[in-house]
Amino acid sequence: MRTLIIEDEHALAEAIADGLAAEGFVSDLAHDGPDGLWRALHEPYDVIVLDIMLPGLSGYEVLKRLRAARAWTPVLIVSAKAGEYDEADALDLGADDYLSKPFSYVVLVAHLRALLRRGAPARPAVLTAGDLTLDPARRRCRRGHREIDLTTREFALLEYLLRHPDEVISKTDILTHVWDEYFDGDTNIVEVYVGYLRRKIDAPFGRRTIETVRGAGYRLRGGAG
Which positions lie near Ca ion, rule CB under 5 A?
Answer: 8, 51, 53
Cβ distance to Ca ion smaller for residue 13 or 162: 13
| Residue 179 per-residue DSSP state | S
* Rounded least distance, CB 50 to Ca ion, Å: 10
Helix (H, G, I), strand (E, B) or coil at 205: helix
* Rounded least distance, CB 112 to Ca ion, Å: 19
* Rounded least distance, CB 24 to Ca ion, Å: 26
Cβ distance to Ca ion smaller for residue 53 or 126: 53
Name the β-bridge partners of 51: 78
* Rounded least distance, CB 85 to Ca ion, Å: 12
* Rounded least distance, CB 18 to Ca ion, Å: 18
| Residue 51 per-residue DSSP state | E
Contact at 8 Å (CB) between 70 and 103? no
Strands 26-30 and 75-79: unpaired
Cβ distance to Ca ion smaller for residue 73 or 79: 79
Cβ distance to Ca ion smaller for residue 14 or 211: 14
* Rounded least distance, CB 53 to Ca ion, Å: 4
Helix (H) or strand (E) holding 2: strand 2-6
Strands 217-220 and 168-169: antiparallel
Cβ distance to Ca ion smaller for residue 8 or 97: 8
State how far the alpha carbon of 64 is from the alpha carbons of 34, 95, 149, 181, 209, in Å: 13, 9, 29, 17, 32
Residue nearest to Ca ion (CB): 53
Cβ distance to Ca ion smaller for residue 59 or 136: 59
Helix (H) or strand (E) holding 148: strand 146-148
Alpha carbon distance 126, 116 (integer Å): 20
